[in-house]
Amino acid sequence: MTDVTFAPPRTEISYRALLAGLSLAALFAFLLSLAIGYGQLDFAAALADVLSGRDSLGALVLLEIRLPRALLGLFVGFALGLAGAVMQAFLRNPLAEPGIIGISGAAAFGAVLVFYSGLAAASSLLLPVGGIAAALVAGLLLFAVAGRNASTATLILAGIAVNSLAGALVSLALNLSPNPFAATEIMFWLMGSFADRSLTHVAIAFPPIAAGCLALFATARALDALALGEDTATSLGFDLRVTRILLISGVALAVGGAVAVSGAIGFVGLVVPHILRPLVAYRPSLLLPASALGGAVLTLAADIAVRLLPTQPELKLGVVTAIIGAPFLFSLVWRLRGDMR
C-alpha cells in the first residue's frame, strides 16, 4: 500500500499540542470524577489507603464505586468519540453517529434481552455479547438498506426506523419482565448512566471496547484515501470491503460493549468530531485519536455534571449529552438544509 501524502496540517507541533491538551483534559476529568461523589470522603486519605493496601471504608468507596465510574467514563467516551469520527469519514455523512443511526439503541435491546431474561446472571460475560450481537445486526441492516453512498436523508431515515424499532423492543422486553422494577428501567437503557456500576462491569466492557477501537483505528489510512474519493482510494490499493468489515465489526464491538454496561449515551460521537475536525485540518486519520480523547473528556464531564446537579434521583447521562448535542444537531441541519433536499 502506498502512503497517501497530504498537505501537512498547519504544523506538526500544533497537532501534538492538541493531542497533549486533550490527554491532559481527559486525565484531569478522570481525577475530578474520582474526587467527586456523594459520601463525605477524604480523597487524599482514601488514596493513601488504596496505595498502601489498607482496607478502610474510604479506600473501598474510591476503589469499588468511584474508580469503575471514572474508568467507564473514560472508555465509553473514548469509544463513542472514535466511532463517530470513523463513521462520519467512511460514510461521508456529517450526521453519522452510533446513537442517531440506531446502533446504540439496538445494542441496548440486545443487552436488555440478555440481562432481563436472567442469562447475564448466569454469566456476566453474556451481557456485552448481547449488546455486540444486536449492534452488529443493526450495522449490517443499515449497510444493506442505506449502503455506503446513500444520501444523508436515506441514512438518517433508516436510522430513525432502526431507533424506533429498538426503542419499542426495549420497552416490550422490559414490560414483559415479571420483575416489577424492570419497566421503570427503560431510562437507563435509552439514556445511559454510570451510577453504581462495579469493576465487574468495567472488566466485561473493556475487552470488546479495546478490540473495537483497534479495528476502528486500523481504518485510519483508508479513511484518508477515501477523502480523495472512492476511485482514488481503490487505485491507491485500499480494499474498501476490508475497511467496511473493520468499520462494522469495530463499531459493533466498541459500541455494543459500551452500551451493555452503561446504556445508550447519545450525541457524543456527533458533537466531538465536528468540534475537533477544523483543528486537525480535516484529515480523518488525525481526527480519530483526537476525537476519541475528546469523547472521553465530554463523557467524563457530563458524568461529573450529573453528580453535581441536585436532582433526586440522579439524572441520566444521556439527558446532559442530549441537552448539549441536540442544539448542535439543529445547527448542523441548518447548515445542511440545502443539500438534504
What cell numbers appear for 214 in the block? Answer: 483497534
230 binds other proteins (CB under 8 A): no
Listed ranges 10-18, 87-95, 192-200, 205-213: which one lies at the site for other proteins (CB under 8 A): 192-200
199 binds other proteins (CB under 8 A): yes
Instruction: State the nearest-atom distance from the C-beta of 288 to other proteins, in Å.
Output: 33
Nearer residue to other proteins within complex by CB, 60 or 228: 60
Among 7, 181, 231, 241, the residue binding other proteins under the rule CB under 8 A is 181
109 binds other proteins (CB under 8 A): no
How far apart CA 76 and CA 103 sit, in angstroms, is 14
Among 149, 196, 242, 339, the residue binding other proteins under the rule CB under 8 A is 196
Listed ranges 38-46, 87-95, 149-157, 265-273: which one lies at the site for other proteins (CB under 8 A): 38-46
Residue positions counted in the chain: 341
Give first-to-last CA distance, the chain, whole Å.
38
Among 10, 24, 118, 242, the residue binding other proteins under the rule CB under 8 A is 118
Among 198, 218, 227, 326, the residue binding other proteins under the rule CB under 8 A is 198
Q: Which of 111, 109, 105, 106 minimizes the C-alpha distance to 125?
A: 111
334 binds other proteins (CB under 8 A): no
CB 269 within 8 A of CB 103: no
Among 53, 180, 278, 310, the residue binding other proteins under the rule CB under 8 A is 180
Nearer residue to other proteins within complex by CB, 181 or 334: 181
Buried b (16+ CB within 10 A) or exposed e, 148-167: bebebeebbebbeebbebbb
Q: Which of residues 66-85 bind other proteins (CB under 8 A)?
A: 66
Angle between helices 240-262 and 103-116 (to 10 degrees): 50
What cell numbers appear for 120 in the block? Answer: 447475564
- Radius of gyration of the chain, Cα coordinates, nearest whole angstrom: 20
